[in-house]
Amino acid sequence: MKLNPIILYVLLLFSCNNKAQIEFGKRYTEKLLQVNIDTLGNYQNWHNTVDSMLCNNDYSQIQLLICDQEVNYKINLNNHCSDDVVCFTSRNFLTIQNDSIYKYNIGAYSFDSLCDLILRDYPNNGLNPRLSEAPHKFVLSFIQPNLLDHKTVKERLVRVLEAFKRTELGNENLKLSLGLDLNENFDFDKIQYEDSIYREMEMLLEEQDFTL
């Protein structure tokens, strides 16, 4: 028997309201749009839903609602509309990709080391040139395979939240963004570039990463 989507949403909302709630991330706008992840499908559906809502609602922020067995998590995301031009520095990101952790220009680590990696990166204050410049610039980038099922994505996201909670840095200080794996979404071999222009773009990006 298939449930009406409205009835399903009400049931999910009711079940979520009966549990303790833990909120992560800061609210930086009054226009907060809540998304219950149990109404979404695979990971690409998660990302596309968030992106579409941000692009169609100016000055908005997405709050993900995760109904777990004992606790409800609310995550105030750090995402921006994909049409916006946003500048960032690679050293300020710690990336959770699939079931591994990556730090640009350093290496890859197991998922279980996330808590320790956050504690190394977050308070760096620019001392190590490969780690974050300042605590308020530090971002966890959550990237999963496009077609990964809802259950697995949810479990991994909860593990990320629990790891950050264990750091005792303050739940409100989590900056988390959902991202897509570009290698899964674009076939670069089919894009035609003039060699000189392509090399010029590469050099410009390398130069920017050095100066930022």
Q: Domain containing 129: what range?
A: 5-211
**In this predicted model, what pLDDT tens digit does every residue of 95-109 receive, in sequence order?**
999 999 999 999 999
Per-residue pLDDT at 196 = 44
Beta strand pairing status for 139-143 and 93-97?
Answer: parallel
Strands (E), the chain: 20-24, 32-36, 61-67, 71-76, 93-97, 100-103, 107-110, 139-143, 176-179
Per-residue pLDDT at 6 = 42
- How many structural domains are present in the chain? 1
Tell me how far apart the alpha carbons of residues 73 and 64 are, in angstroms, rounded to a whole number. 8
| 141 or 71, which is more confident | 141
**In this predicted model, what pLDDT tens digit does every residue of 134-176 receive, in sequence order?**
999 999 999 999 999 999 999 999 999 999 999 999 999 999 9
Mean pLDDT, all residues of the chain? 85
Beta strand pairing status for 71-76 and 61-67?
Answer: antiparallel
Q: Is the pLDDT of residue 39 over 60?
A: yes
Q: Is the pLDDT of residue 35 over 70?
A: yes
